[in-house]
Amino acid sequence: MQTNFTEVQLRDPAIQVADSILRSCVHCGFCTATCPSFITVGDEDDSPRGRIYLIKEMLESGSAASAPVAFHLDRCLSCLSCMTTCPSGVDYMHLIDHARTHVEQTFRRPWHDRGLRAVLAAILPYPARMRWALRAAGLARPFVGLIPQRGVLFARMRAMLALAASERVVAQGVGDVTAQTVHPAQGTRRGRVLLLAGCAQRVLDPGIHAATIRLLNRMGVEVVIPQAAGCCGALTHHMGKHAAFVAQAGATIRAMTDALDEETDAIIINVSGCGTVVKDYGFALRGEGPDLAGKAAKISALAMDVSAYLLKIGYQRTRPESGLTIAYHAACSLQHGQKITDAPKALLRQAGFRVVEPRDAHLCCGSAGTYNILQPEIASSLRARKLDTLTALSPDAIAAGNIGCLTQLAGAGIPTIHTVELLDWMAGGPCPAGLKS
Amino acid sequence: MIALPAPNPATLARRDALVAGLRKILPAADGVIADPVRLKPYETDGLTAYRQMPLAVVLPETTEQVAAILAFCQAQNVRVIPRGAGTSLAGGALPLADAVVIGMMRMNRILQIDYADRYAVVQAGVTNLGITRAVEADGFFYAPDPSSQLACMIGGNIGMNSGGAHCLKYGVTANNVLGVKLVTITGDIIELGGTHLDAAGYDWLGIIIGSEGQLGIVTEITVRILRAAEGTRAMLAAFSSNAIAGACVDAIIGSGIIPVALEFMDRPAIHACEAFAHAGYPLDAEAMLIIEVEGSADEQTAMLERIKEICSAFAPTSLKISQNDAESAAIWKGRKGAFGAIGRISPDYLCMDGTIPTSTLPQVLARIEALSAEYGLKVANIFHAGDGNLHPLIMFDANQAGQMQKAEAFGADILRLCVEVGGCLTGEHGVGVEKRDLMKVQFTEIELDLQRAVKSAFDPDWLLNTAKVFPLDRLPARASLPHAA
Ligand code: SF4
Ligand code: SF4
């Protein structure tokens, strides 16, 4: 597609990147068909091609983002379904990341929007604050009926309380397994990995890390959790809060780098939303000085989703087949962001489950980080659509590799369980809490 | 560049009042788009060389709303541009500055499926592939399959009488539509055809299908759905030159075999598509054919054997038969994504769409090659070789001054060549704005006058998708289209 940047604009390396991405889009419109927001809203401005156009106009004009541009870019889930579809290989992810930063830097949102974003950015990445917030939300839950039915602000409040008081069954009494740094391999050590402890998942469902560590240890892999590596920065990154992202990601990268040794096979990530961002550190932090940029690239190169690592080292089941049917829900960050589609299904089959997949598996469930709080209307419509296709399969449980999806899809009468918990169970671990009930 | 008419100043001056009127018809907050920032992405479709901001965009959800909008526009003497998915490669959805764009994408429901009588009733904003997706679990499909079938909408398929790779056997849109609900410019809702082929009287559907949204707006369509074949298999045959592959196509068609699809790709196309689809295309070949057959396993094998035999006479550099559905799917993913995949090797392209008698294929390909050297612009050739529907993609860089004009001139030469060898200007993309001024190469003034009279009968003031299809001279007086300077 034709672009109109001035020579001066093109001296900015970030604009150069944006220009080459825009030029690779031929405006064919294929991507519109698989975009969850376009399918839900039915407006070119809420399609990938429309957003690419909006971003092109905004960047070419060199001016501040306008309210309509912010509005339509905010409605993008960053699910990256458009990238899977695009025949031309348009790098939408880096374009929207750039645009979100531009919006955050040049556009002043309404007070309540700004406030909510600030609150989310101040709580979610910090486990201690998040625990506190969940308790407070639990206390507020009985008053949910008092929240007015109309207005985006109130819809967001209701969405937040609903998530905080999720009916999802999680393992109790696990404690914080991430407090311990080294989890030694059982038997002969076959490998050594670092595990990203992260933030929200650790609070919402500590059983996932516990299962990951148990399973890897049992398979002869030493798991090391660098204590100073917290939030990966995905949350602030997707809000366009670049400085906060660099601070969070930088801390995690340095902690990870310090813990690396010659024998480290991989950095394991079991939240695919984080995995997509960690794998992109090398690009996202390329302008943050040679030291951090170099380390970032190295961390990105080592990052692996837990499913890919398990498949590589050879997972094996030890328990008899359960006879259970598992509906595999492909998290967007895994299927589109990291292009990992077969590994989790192959592992679940190896674990003896009957694996089924919903229709329109490429569509997002509406979780998308904080999207379900910020855009409750589109998110709940996508949730309903996804649950319809999942329940049509009458599965015993829904498996996914991303805590956001697990929370989003909970509450419909089917347990939602992290893939790794099911794998751990069939290899000798405890039955996942969600299945016991 | 093809000229667009100057906008009607009276319409532009009443913009706010018109928008307010439209908002009364579509009260939903986002049903009418008038903010210039929001309008911008609607200024073009799949033919980005042409761009024009519309007056407003409306997004109706019901046939009644479409009717109210059209009645309003006629009363106000405002031009109207129907738009589906905006994938037209001929600029079929290109707006005019004084026109209201009616976006059909919210009318995306499948209303009825009848397996006993093999038809489905769908709204115009359902995607082409969406129909097949809705019936495939029960063993049915909707046959026409344009490359953009993932995204393009059935309403637009009606407008352009779209074809696709499998039209060789199953025919184009016109052969697969049984009835339509049409809203006229007066806001009247009429039904044409029904649920079976061959309605009484004139072939009204034949007039509507392919009329490029100039006679009315189709909101509901009754399509024929067919029982899917027992199985299909695709074969890749690679050759050492375009001309040899072209001759092989002619030999296959000449032998009386009708494969379900017979597609041609040349070297640049093979490489771009392979990078996208990883289908195992032969990267060392100069040209490649995708040949698909269907039926029972035995029928498939027998047909493939015969085709292989024919191909062997043309010294193929490789012959490969897909071993399973996943391999076939990858082969088609590459072919269907071909136009977009060209974006990997060139920032811009013009996709031509002409039809020629298959026997002239080698000659036409050689001439295109010569023209390519003359203009200094590369071409990737992708087309439905079986029915002689050519899609040469002229690659250029719109950021370089003058290249767009050069590409257009090259394209016009190719289309003239098609007419010269006994073919025609458009295979399946429609005339749109792209080929408007070339219509005189194909038709005499008398023929064009008769066609214009048909449009006038449906739309006396020429408000519907005007400035497309017909050259701007000799328009009827009531069309009142000011000539472009
Ligand atoms: S599919 Fe790719 S090339 Fe086509 S419009 Fe979308 S982003 Fe652009
Ligand atoms: S990332 Fe997802 S929501 Fe955003 S434009 Fe792409 S497909 Fe649509």
Region B346-430: CATH code: 3.30.70.2740
Task: Among A74, A90, A106, identify where a domain stops.
Answer: A106
The amino acid occupying position A323 is G
CATH tag, B9-106+452-480: 3.30.43.10
Strands B348-351 vs B389-396: parallel, antiparallel or unpaired = antiparallel
The tens digit of pLDDT for each residue in B335-367 reads 988 888 999 999 999 998 889 988 888 889 889
Q: What is the CATH number of domain B232-339?
A: 3.30.70.3450
Q: Which two tokens stand for residue B394?
A: 């002229």
Cβ distance A54 to B106 less than 8 Å, yes or no, reads: no
> Which residues of chain B are within 8 Å of residue A2 when distances are taken between CB atoms?
48, 347-348, 398-399
In a domain, A199, yes or no: no
With a cut of 80, say whether residue B134 has pLDDT above it.
yes
Residues (pLDDT < 70) of chain A are 144, 149-150, 163-165, 437
Task: Please report which confidence band the pLDDT of residue B483 belongs to, taking 50, 70 and 90 as the band edges.
Answer: very low
Contact A200, A403 (CB under 8 A): yes
Same domain, A102 and A116: no
Q: Could you tell me the residue range of the domain that residue A357 belongs to?
A: 315-435
Where among A90, A106, A122 does a domain terminate?
Answer: A106
* CATH number belonging to domain B110-227: 3.30.465.10
Domain's final residue, options A147, A164, A181: A164
Radius of gyration of chain B measured on its C-alpha atoms: 23
Q: Which helix (H) or strand (E) holds A405?
A: helix A403-408
User: Which of chain A's residues have a Cβ under 8 Å away from the Cβ of B48?
Assistant: 1-2, 26-27
What is the average pLDDT score of chain B? 92
Residue nearest to atom 5 of ligand 2 (CA): A48
Domain count, chain A: 3
Could you tell me if A159 and A132 lie in one domain?
A: yes
Beta carbons of B269 and B380 less than 8 angstroms apart:
yes
Token couple for A240: 């366009």
Assigned domain for A116 exists: yes
Average pLDDT over residues B16-26: 97
pLDDT tens by residue, A44-101: 999 999 999 999 999 999 999 999 999 999 999 999 999 999 999 999 999 999 999 9
- Shared domain for A398 and A367, answered yes or no, is yes
Q: Do B40 and A26 touch (CB under 8 A)?
A: no
Every domain of chain B with CATH number 3.30.70.3450 lies at 232-339
Place of tokens 């009835």: B179
Measured from the Cα of A30, ligand 1's closest atom is 1
Mark whether A149 and A90 lie in a shared domain. no
The residues, any chain, with a CB within 8 Å of residue B260's CB and separated by 6 or more, are: B166, B168, B169, B170, B229, B232, B292, B293, B294
Chain pair A-B, CB pairs under 8 angstroms: 118
**pLDDT of the residue at B477:** 80
Contacts of A68 in chain B (CB under 8 A): 35, 37-38
Residue B198: pLDDT band with limits 50, 70, 90:
low
Do residues A175 and A220 touch, judged by C-beta distance below 8 A? no
Could you report the per-residue pLDDT of B45-57, keeping only the tens digit for each? 999 999 999 999 9
If interface means Cβ-Cβ distance under 8 Å, which residues of chain A face chain B? Answer: 1-3, 23-34, 38-39, 41-45, 49-50, 53-54, 57, 66, 68-69, 72, 85-90
What spacing in Å lies between the alpha carbon of B399 and ligand 1's midpoint?
18
Tokens encoding A415: 């347990």
Instruction: Provide the CB-side half-sphere exposure for A286 (13 A, CA).
Output: 10
**Domain co-membership, A58 together with A158:** no
User: Do A196 and A269 contact (CB within 8 A), yes or no?
Assistant: yes
Which residues touch A382 (CB under 8 Å, ≥6 apart)? A36, A40, A363, A364, A365, A366
> Which H/E stretch holds residue B26?
none
CA nearest neighbour of A91 among B337, B343, B460: B343
Task: Please report whether residue A342 resides in a domain.
Answer: yes
Judge if A417 and A334 occupy the same domain. Answer: yes
- What are B74-123's pLDDT values in tens digits? 999 999 999 999 999 999 999 999 999 999 999 999 999 999 999 999 99
- Note whether residue A181 is domain-resident: no
**A262 located within any domain:** no
What pLDDT does residue B485 have? 34
Distance A28 CA to ligand 2 centre (A): 15
How far away, in angstroms, is A78 Cα from ligand 2 center? 5
Torsion of CA A248, A292, A304, A414, to 10 degrees: 10
Is A287 inside any structural domain? no
Give the Cα separation of A188 and B385 in Å (integer).
62
- The phi and psi torsions of B383 (rounded to 5 degrees) equal -165, 165
pLDDT at residue B144, as a whole number = 95
For A13-29, the pLDDT digits (tens) are 999 999 999 999 999 99
- Name the pLDDT band for B482 (thresholds 50, 70, 90): low
| Residue nearest atom 1 in ligand 1 by C-alpha distance | A86
